A and B are shown apart, each in its own frame.
Chain A
Amino acid sequence: MTDITPPRWADRILRLLLEPQHRESFSGDLLEEYRESIHPARGRRRAQRWYVRQVGALAWRQNRVWGLLLGASFVGRTAVDWLMPTTQFQVRSMVLTALSVAILLGAGFWAVRRSKSLGAGALGGLATVVVAGLVDAVGAMLLLALSHDPQTLDAIRQSGGLGEVFALPWLVAGPGIAFASLGGVAGRAAAGSAPSRR
């Protein structure tokens, strides 16, 4: 029984997501269910998928607000560029950049404040970017479905094209993780000064 183990990387991510006081007990609950129920009933491969889904669901639960905020920012920028065409994108770019940095700093800050682990900042940043990328893609497709007259299509071309809209969240993944890690450093300091819970 003890040689039945879930994917090690998923277990590491799970531990990064959890508060220290729940790290052992909750990961123990999942391991117990994995070994006693899921693995015997579904086999190794499907059991591993189940474990990864449980970890993914927890990551989504903890980062969805930041991801949705970042995604909404991207969709908002896209809507403004398409519906209010301009040739001067500097102010819009600055606003979106400042907003994105603030959101990613916040995501990293809260992730590390909760888990007291610096790695959680980068993980929070990655999860935020992934959620934002999906929201951005869905939002852009909805915008396109609602507004695709020649004037809007021209505005899309002027603002960089559809490719840029879909690629932007993934292009900022690296800097995004870096900013979230930076927020995480502040979160670690805040966690150190806050009264500890049981």
Chain B
Amino acid sequence: MTKPCAVATPSLLARVPGVAIVLAILFVVLGLTSPSFATPANVANILVQSTILLLLALPMTLIIMTEGLDLSMGAVLTFASIALAITVLATGSVSLALLAALVVGSGFGLLNGWLVAALDIPPFIATLGTLGIAQGLSLVATDGQSVVGIPRSIQVVYSGSMLGIPIPIVIGAVAFALLCLLLYRTRFGTYVFALGGNREALRLAGVPVRRMLIAVYALGGAMAGFAALLMTGRMSAAHPTAGLGLEFDAIAAVAVGGTSFERGDGWLIGTLLGVVTVGVLRNGLNLLALPSSVQVACIGALVIFALFVDGLRSRA
């Protein structure tokens, strides 16, 4: 398989080190201070744990490239997982359940896109509103209780392996490859770049800007729906507050990875590294058994530090 992301312009290559530097530093420091860190079991752990966040952060990169934001992703993920759980309990069919989750996710994605593109509502507010709606629906549908009794067939998606590789890692890799293809090798991808930096030019060129924008948000929703499968598999349950707040982690991962909020540049490898960096940090802090308050402070420091390093590089 060709590596779409290797087709990078010189400026992209020059930015690889930013988040990679931070990740490398973290790896070395943690590897030295905690004996259990650099073991294959632990690294596999980190990668598996990071998959859900990756599935959210990848489409978030595209959304941020269009100068937008999707604050509702966590809530949509949660509601999709509830839809999935309810469907699998009612019908016993995993594929129907996955379909339900995808429909819910895409539905919200379309709603977000429509609010932003057709009604001109700023993405922050639009997705804040849909966050409330999705969260409310989750609470109403479950009356605040977890939905349990998820069959093995779904649990296995998170805990099983394919040819020795944990399934979540496989899913993550495939998603990454697909998004790279989409962004760097299709016309849609070029439009996404332009939606951020040069929307007027697109409009003048007759490209259906509105539909493109809606599609970008719909993609985000759909991937959140897919991620619901992993999350439900992980917990063997669906809980109305489980995924809340993940969107901020996704946004942070995207920013740490080097995608700028202003310029419409997109950097999927950066996002991938950003997601892994966050995962490595959290895992390392757990292994070091640092007090939770210190962990909280470290996460903030990491985010700022990563951007600081990135800033230094781009000005060097």
Chain B associates with chain A: no
Which residues of A come within 8 Å of B, CB atoms?
A: none
